[in-house]
Structure 1
Amino acid sequence: MTAQIPDTVIWNTKTYELIGFEGYDDEIGLFNPETYGLSPQMMHTACYRGFYCAYKIVEDALYLDTLCVNDGRGHYPKIHGIEATPGRYDAFEYAGLQIHIPYTGLLRIGTDFKRDHYVHMGFQKPSAYGTVWDLELLHGKVVGMKDISEEVKKIEGKFHDEYRTRDIIDGIHDSFKRDLELR
């Protein structure tokens, strides 16, 4: 395994990485490709789950804009009238989906990634970003937002530093979590 391709969120014209959310432990995330007849299969070591998503927040509502997926059966049905086209990593891409995501809970998003805190396994943690926001959503609508960058600055590099001294298996397991723990 290696560092995973993160899902992204475009918010206020800026692209953020999705670094945490409530319900992260379902291994799917906010969107389940199986709902649309897809069977994701690992693309490569940087995309173990077989897909990644680009979301957009438009007029305070969360939408899935782009899905990049490797279907294990080579089956790529139309989704919302959109055909899949060849994408990166021998996967296929659905662009311009505009599927409303009725998520309720907190999303943690980050930008200004600090390369010095990169962990070559799983997903990057809040302590590796310069700017971090918590967005509160109710049925897919943003109802609150909080800039937690100052809190994160106090723990800068924490996960990176701790990862190097941990039991390897525990560290790997933890690195794939996209929970809301500040580390």
Structure 2
Amino acid sequence: MSEQIPDYFKYNKENDSKYSKKKHYELAAIEKDWPFIPEKYGYHPVDHFTGCWRGFHCLYEMDDLQLLLKSFFVTLDCSVVSLPDLNGVSGKKGYGGFWEYKQVNLPLGYSGGIILCDELVGQDYLFGGYERMHHFRDVVELRFENGIVTSKIDHSDMMKEIRGFTDLSFLEQEELVVDYFSLYSNKWINYYML
């Protein structure tokens, strides 16, 4: 199974300063419906290759605690000749058949939680095309109200502890993660399985 292109999230968990270097986290899970749905903006992504089942991927960023869609990359049917602008930005044909929209800076009014992951350190195989949260060194949960971050929790130490249970099978470790993220078990969804 092909590894999927993740959505990335530019965020600095240490001091939240937009002026310092931000890390690129993978957007791993969301609590509620995500506010950026390409179809609502006039785009109809197609599954162009096995590394991007959804037909698009995005870069999000925090700017003064405001959630922004920074860049959008989408594959469309070959018959599409005219694309709509996105927040005043025109698309350009890019690498791998993607149309690229860079520096979009579209504010998103999301209310709910997200889980971000960075620096793969766990198992060296994929499950369903994506790594699991406990396979990452940095795991952060952010909560938003109308697109503004209201709280953050660093779950990195707990994920490290779960990785340390080497006598447990992959599925047993996964069950620990689900139990740990009590919201995750029935409320959170795997962002990539949308």
Bin for the TM-score computed over the shorter chain: 0.7 to 0.9
Give, in whole Å, the separation in 2 of the partners of 1:91 and 1:51: 8
Amino acid paired to 1:3: E
Change (3 A) 1:37 1:119: same
Give the conservation status (yes or no) of the 8 Å contact 2:122–2:163.
no
- Matched residue SS, 1:83: coil
Q: Which residue of 2 aligns with 1:161?
A: 170
1:118 Cα deviation from its structure 2 partner: 3.4
Amino acid paired to 2:159: V
Give, in whole Å, the separation in 2 of the partners of 1:54 and 1:160: 33
Would you say 1:114 and 2:121 are equivalent positions? yes
Q: Which residue of 2 aligns with 1:102?
A: 109
Q: Which residue of 1 aligns with 2:59?
A: 54
1:35 Cα deviation from its structure 2 partner: 1.4
- What is the TM-score normalised by the length of structure 2? 0.75
Give, in whole Å, the separation in 1 of the partners of 2:53 and 2:29: 17
Give the conservation status (yes or no) of the 8 Å contact 1:119–1:160.
no
- Matched residue SS, 1:96: coil
Q: Which residue of 2 aligns with 1:169?
A: none
Question: What's the CA shift string for 1:68-96, capped at 9, x where partnerless?
Answer: 00122424221122111122321111000
Give the conservation status (yes or no) of the 8 Å contact 1:117–1:160.
no
Give, in whole Å, the separation in 1 of the partners of 2:72 and 2:115: 20
Q: Which residue of 1 aligns with 2:25?
A: 16
Change (3 A) 1:36 1:76: same
Q: How does 1:40-79 map to 2 (within 5 A)?
A: 40-72=45-77, 73-74=79-80, 75-79=82-86
Give, in whole Å, the separation in 1 of the partners of 2:107 and 2:46: 24
Change (3 A) 1:120 1:88: farther
Amino acid paired to 2:11: W
Mean Cα displacement is larger for which, 121-130 or 98-107? 121-130
- Matched residue SS, 1:127: helix
Give, in whole Å, the separation in 1 of the partners of 2:4 and 2:127: 9
Q: Which residue of 2 aligns with 1:166?
A: none
Amino acid paired to 1:178: N
Structure 1 vs Structure 2: percent identity of aligned residues?
28
Give the conservation status (yes or no) of the 8 Å contact 1:43–1:51.
no
Unaligned runs of 5+ in 1: 164-176
Give, in whole Å, the separation in 2 of the partners of 1:42 and 1:94: 18
1:30 Cα deviation from its structure 2 partner: 4.0
Give the conservation status (yes or no) of the 8 Å contact 1:68–1:94.
yes
- Kindly tell me the number of residue pairs found equivalent between the two proteins: 162
- Matched residue SS, 2:158: helix
- What is the TM-score normalised by the length of structure 1? 0.80
Would you say 1:178 and 2:178 are equivalent positions? no
Amino acid paired to 2:30: F
1:157 Cα deviation from its structure 2 partner: 8.6
Unaligned runs of 5+ in 2: 13-21, 173-188
- RMSD between aligned residues: 2.3
